[in-house]
Structures are given as structure tokens and as C-alpha cells.
């Protein structure tokens, strides 16, 4: 029997935490292991409980969610913990800052419950997740940053046909599991292709891989 996904909820509103707890605890294969009302407590409880996923609000008193995310991501003892930012704010700078701080995903609080539960599973599996509707703005922001790798045609040419296809699917927001289903291949094969493509293109993470995919026209840009 597979162990349940362990989730820590960090939000300064008790009613919000309560709602998330009910949703998660009633979902088969998931369990809430703790609640925190501020970033400092979130970091402390993360070190104590070692959850698979931390649902992290951005705006909290004292230590905010971005600072807490950075502390968790920078702690080698918490390498197995994945932070999913969940907030009412979808401004570009929050998305960029959250990903830069080490978050594995970003969702808006008005996301449908089924999408939130899917998001928890995706990041628990070690994949990145962006809220629908944020991709276009993320691309515009990241392509303007010097930290985004700029590759030449030779690096792109090193991709196999299958790798180019898979990079395009990553840019459309598909997880490794969804890519595997779409292409009728195993999850392990999809993950391997994504990893090889990131290595060849010098992409640090999936967000940078998305930028490169659009820059080199492996997929059509999303509509405004």
C-alpha cells in the first residue's frame, strides 16, 4: 500500500486552513500533518513533520511565505519537501519570486478543488506546476531576464525528435504523467526525456524549459 501524501498547510486565516484540511483529509491518499499561521511556524513545522508538500500562502505576518519557501528550499535536510504556493495574488512578481525562492508550483486560491488536489499530487511527485492563465505572463517576464539561458541553434539541434515533442508538451503545461499518457509511453521514459532535454538546453528547471520552448518555436505562444 502506498504511503499517503503528507501535507502541511501554511495560511494566516484559520478558516482557510480549516477548509483545506477538510478537503485534503477526505481525499484518499492524502493527510494533513500540521497547520501554521505564519512563515516562521511553517518552517519549524516542516522541519518537525517532514511533509511531502507544503501549501504556502504568500502574505503572512512576520516571516512571509516567500521567505519561508526560501528557507525550506535552502535546507538540504528538507530536500524531499515540495512547496506549492497558494495565494489570492496572481501578480507577475509573485510568480517569479515564488519560483526563484524554490517553490515547485503556484496556484491561485480560487482554483477548483479538483485542480488543487491534482496540484498537490503533481508537486509531490517532484514536478513543477503553474496555475492556468499564468504561463503567458511568466514567459514574458522570464524571457526578459538575463538569468534565462540563451542557447544557440546547435544546442537545440542536439534534441531528438521525441525530446523536441516532449519539450513542447511541457510548455503546454503537461506533467510527466500526462505526457506519458499522451504519447503512450511510461512515466519513467517521459521523465528521462524531460531531464535529458533540460541538460542539453542548460535549463535549470521546467520554467526555464518552457521559456526556451516558446523562444525556439517548439510550441505556439498562448493567446493573450
Q: What average pLDDT does the chain have?
A: 82
C-alpha cell at 209: 524549459
Question: Residue 117: pLDDT above 90?
Answer: yes
* Percent over 70 (pLDDT), the chain: 80
* 3-class state of residue 207 by DSSP: helix
pTM of the entire predicted model: 0.71
**pLDDT above 70: residue 170:** yes
* Of residues 88 and 45, more confidently modeled: 45
**Where does the pLDDT of residue 109 fall: very low under 50, low under 70, confident under 90, or very high at 90 and above?**
confident
Compare 175 and 49 and report the one with higher pLDDT.
Answer: 49
The most confident of the ranges 21-25, 85-89, 92-96 is 21-25
Higher pLDDT, 211 or 159: 159
> In sequence order, which residues have a C-beta less than 8 Å from that of residue 52 and are 6 or more positions away?
5, 6, 7, 80, 81, 82, 124
Mean pLDDT lowest among 112-126, 153-167, 204-218: 204-218
Listed range (57-71, 114-128, 209-223) with the worst mean pLDDT: 209-223
| Residue 152 confidence (pLDDT) | 59
Alpha-carbon gap, residue 202 to 3, rounded angstroms: 34
Predicted confidence (pLDDT) at residue 123 exceeds the cutoff of 80 = yes
pLDDT band at 199 (very low <50, low <70, confident <90, very high): confident
Q: Tell me how far CA of residue 100 lies from CA of 8, 20, 95, 159, 218, in angstroms.
A: 21, 25, 9, 26, 24
Residue 146: predicted pLDDT? 43
Amino acid at each position: 500500500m502506498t504511503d499517503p501524501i503528507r501535507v502541511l498547510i501554511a495560511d494566516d486565516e484559520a478558516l482557510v486552513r480549516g477548509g483545506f484540511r477538510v478537503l485534503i483529509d477526505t481525499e484518499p491518499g492524502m493527510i494533513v500533518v500540521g497547520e501554521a499561521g505564519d512563515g516562521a511556524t511553517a518552517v519549524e513545522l516542516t522541519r518537525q513533520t517532514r511533509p511531502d508538500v507544503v501549501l504556502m500562502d504568500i502574505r503572512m505576518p512576520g516571516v512571509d511565505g516567500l521567505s519561508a519557501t526560501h528557507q525550506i528550499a535552502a535546507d538540504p535536510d528538507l530536500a524531499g519537501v515540495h512547496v506549492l504556493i497558494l495565494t489570492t495574488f496572481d501578480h507577475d512578481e509573485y510568480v517569479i519570486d515564488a519560483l526563484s525562492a524554490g517553490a515547485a508550483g503556484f496556484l491561485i486560491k480560487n482554483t477548483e478543488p479538483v485542480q488543487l488536489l491534482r496540484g498537490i499530487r503533481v508537486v509531490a511527485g517532484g514536478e513543477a506546476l503553474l496555475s492556468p492563465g499564468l504561463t503567458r505572463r511568466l514567459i514574458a517576464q522570464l524571457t526578459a531576464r538575463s538569468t534565462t539561458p540563451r542557447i544557440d541553434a546547435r544546442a537545440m539541434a542536439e534534441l531528438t525528435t521525441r525530446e523536441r515533442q516532449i519539450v513542447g508538451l511541457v510548455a503546454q503545461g503537461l506533467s510527466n504523467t500526462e505526457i506519458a499518457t499522451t504519447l503512450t509511453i511510461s512515466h519513467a521514459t517521459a521523465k528521462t526525456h524531460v531531464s535529458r532535454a533540460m541538460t542539453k538546453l542548460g535549463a535549470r528547471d521546467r520554467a526555464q524549459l518552457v521559456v526556451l520552448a516558446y523562444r525556439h518555436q517548439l510550441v505556439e505562444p498562448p493567446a493573450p
